Amino acid sequence: MFELRAVPVAPGSARPYDEDEWRDALVVVQRGEVELESLRGSRHHFECGDVLWLVGLPLRALHNRGAEPVVLLALARRPD
């Protein structure tokens, strides 16, 4: 079985990166644009329709620099 979660990021805010939150999940940017900030400070921009894998990355935070909410859909296997 699979579990689908919608993860919002409010306009102008950041969500601290927690690798466990994204374990085993394919992530799709369903709405808005998200910026991933690395531990070294570089940023990578993703927009609606992009597919991400957020495990094993040196990330600090996920940012929403836009005026509308970002919605990330995370599809993962349900824990036994």
Q: How far apart are CA 2 and CA 11, in angstroms?
A: 29
Looking at residue 30, which CATH number applies to its domain?
A: 2.60.120.10
Please count the structural domains in the chain: 1
Q: What is the extent of the structural domain holding 38?
A: 2-77
Asked whether 43 and 36 are in contact (CB, 8 A), the reply is: yes
β-strand partners of 7 = 72
Specify the pTM.
0.91
Would you write out the chain's pLDDT as a tens digit for each of its 80 residues?
899 999 999 999 999 999 999 999 999 999 999 999 999 999 999 999 999 999 999 999 999 999 999 999 999 988 76
